Amino acid sequence: MNINIGRQLSLIPQHILDAALLQHGIAFSGSKDDAIVAIKQLIADGKTSVAEVKATKPSASPAAPRNVLTPGVGISALNELSLRFNDQFKSIESEIKRLRGDVASDLSNVLDVANDAKRKTESIKAPTVDEARIATQIQHEVSKIFDAFRTEVSHERIEEIAQSVPKLELKTAGDVFGKSFTSYSNVDFSDLEVGIWSDPDAPEIVDDYVFSPEHLHQALIALDDPLPDNIWLAGERGTGKTEFVTQLAARLGRRLYRINFDEALERADFIGGNTIENGNVVWKPGIVVQAIQHPGAIVLFDELGFARAQALATLHALCERSHNRSITVSETGQNFRVAPHVVFFAADNSNGHGDHSGNFAGVREQNTAFIDRFSFTIRFEYLRPDSEAELIVNRTNISRDAADMIVKLAGVAREKARAGLLTQPPSLRQLFAWARAVKKGIPVETAYRNAVINKFPADCESELLGVFTATINTSEFKSAIGG
* 3-class SS of residue 20: helix
What's the half-sphere exposure (Cβ side, CA atoms, 13 Å) at 313?
5
Q: Binning pLDDT at 50, 70 and 90, where does residue 61 land? A: very low
Residues 175-184 have pLDDT tens digits of: 999 999 999 9
164, 194, 211 - which closes a domain: 164
Average pLDDT over residues 155-168: 59
380, 399, 429 - which closes a domain: 380
201 or 306: which leads in pLDDT = 201
Check: CB of residue 20 under 8 Å from CB of residue 53: yes
Highest mean pLDDT among 2-6, 133-137, 226-230: 226-230
Q: CA triplet 171, 177, 179: central angle to 5 degrees?
A: 100
**In the 8-state DSSP scheme, what is residue 365?**
B
One domain for residues 232 and 347: yes
Q: What is the pLDDT of residue 90?
A: 58
Report CA-CA distances (Å) from 23 to 9, 14, 19, 28, 57.
Answer: 17, 14, 6, 11, 10
> Looking at the predicted structure, is the pLDDT value of residue 366 above 60?
no
One domain for residues 114 and 52: no
Q: What is the pLDDT of residue 162?
A: 53
Check: CB of residue 406 under 8 Å from CB of residue 431: yes
The residue type found at 283 is W
289 or 3: which leads in pLDDT = 289
Q: Binning pLDDT at 50, 70 and 90, where does residue 341 land? A: very high
Q: Binning pLDDT at 50, 70 and 90, where does residue 64 land? A: very low
Residue 172: strand pairing partners:
193
One domain for residues 151 and 234: no
**In the 8-state DSSP scheme, what is residue 239?**
S
Check: CB of residue 215 under 8 Å from CB of residue 380: yes
Residues 6+ positions from 315 with CB-CB distance below 8 Å: 288, 301, 370
One domain for residues 272 and 319: yes
Domain-embedded: residue 71: no
* 3-class SS of residue 344: strand
One domain for residues 359 and 275: yes
Q: Binning pLDDT at 50, 70 and 90, where does residue 362 land? A: very low
One domain for residues 243 and 343: yes
The whole-angstrom separation of Cα 220 and Cα 480 is 40
Domain-embedded: residue 117: yes
The whole-angstrom separation of Cα 431 and Cα 445 is 13
One domain for residues 254 and 119: no
363, 380, 397 - which closes a domain: 380
The whole-angstrom separation of Cα 447 and Cα 440 is 10
Count of beta carbons in the 10 Å neighbourhood of residue 203? 20
Q: What is the pLDDT of residue 314?
A: 81
Domain-embedded: residue 198: no
> Looking at the predicted structure, is the pLDDT value of residue 60 above 60?
no
> Looking at the predicted structure, is the pLDDT value of residue 132 above 80?
no
E strand spans, 162-205 = 169-172, 183-184, 187-188, 193-196
The whole-angstrom separation of Cα 24 and Cα 352 is 45
One domain for residues 355 and 233: yes
Q: What is the pLDDT of residue 23?
A: 87
Kindly state the percentage of the chain with pLDDT values over 70. 73
Domain-embedded: residue 141: yes
* 3-class SS of residue 94: helix
One domain for residues 227 and 374: yes
The whole-angstrom separation of Cα 374 and Cα 345 is 8
One domain for residues 332 and 449: no
> Looking at the predicted structure, is the pLDDT value of residue 330 above 90?
no
Provide the residue range defining the domain that includes 131: 76-164
Listing DSSP states for 433-478 in one string gives: HHHHHHHTT--HHHHHHHHTGGGS-GGGHHHHHHHHHHH--HHHHH
* 144 phi and psi angles, rounded to 5 deg: -60, -40
Report CA-CA distances (Å) from 427 to 90, 129, 246, 373, 455.
Answer: 60, 78, 18, 30, 10
Domain count, the chain: 4
Residues 378-436 have pLDDT tens digits of: 999 998 999 999 999 998 999 999 999 999 999 999 999 888 898 889 988 899 999 99
Quote the mean pLDDT of the chain.
81
- The mean-pLDDT minimum among 87-96, 343-352, 392-401 falls in 87-96
> Looking at the predicted structure, is the pLDDT value of residue 54 above 60?
yes
Residues 100-117 have pLDDT tens digits of: 666 666 666 666 766 776
One domain for residues 366 and 267: yes
Q: Binning pLDDT at 50, 70 and 90, where does residue 196 land? A: very high
**In the 8-state DSSP scheme, what is residue 293?**
T
> Looking at the predicted structure, is the pLDDT value of residue 359 above 50?
no
Domain-embedded: residue 324: yes
- Which CATH number fits the domain that encloses residue 261? 3.40.50.300
Q: What is the pLDDT of residue 131?
A: 65
One domain for residues 373 and 263: yes
Domain-embedded: residue 214: no
Q: Binning pLDDT at 50, 70 and 90, where does residue 51 land? A: confident
Highest mean pLDDT among 32-41, 77-86, 385-394: 385-394
168 or 227: which leads in pLDDT = 227
Domain-embedded: residue 192: no
Kindly state the percentage of the chain with pLDDT values over 90. 41
- pTM equals 0.61
Domain-embedded: residue 212: no
E strand spans, 151-310 = 169-172, 183-184, 187-188, 193-196, 231-235, 256-260, 272-277, 280-285, 298-302
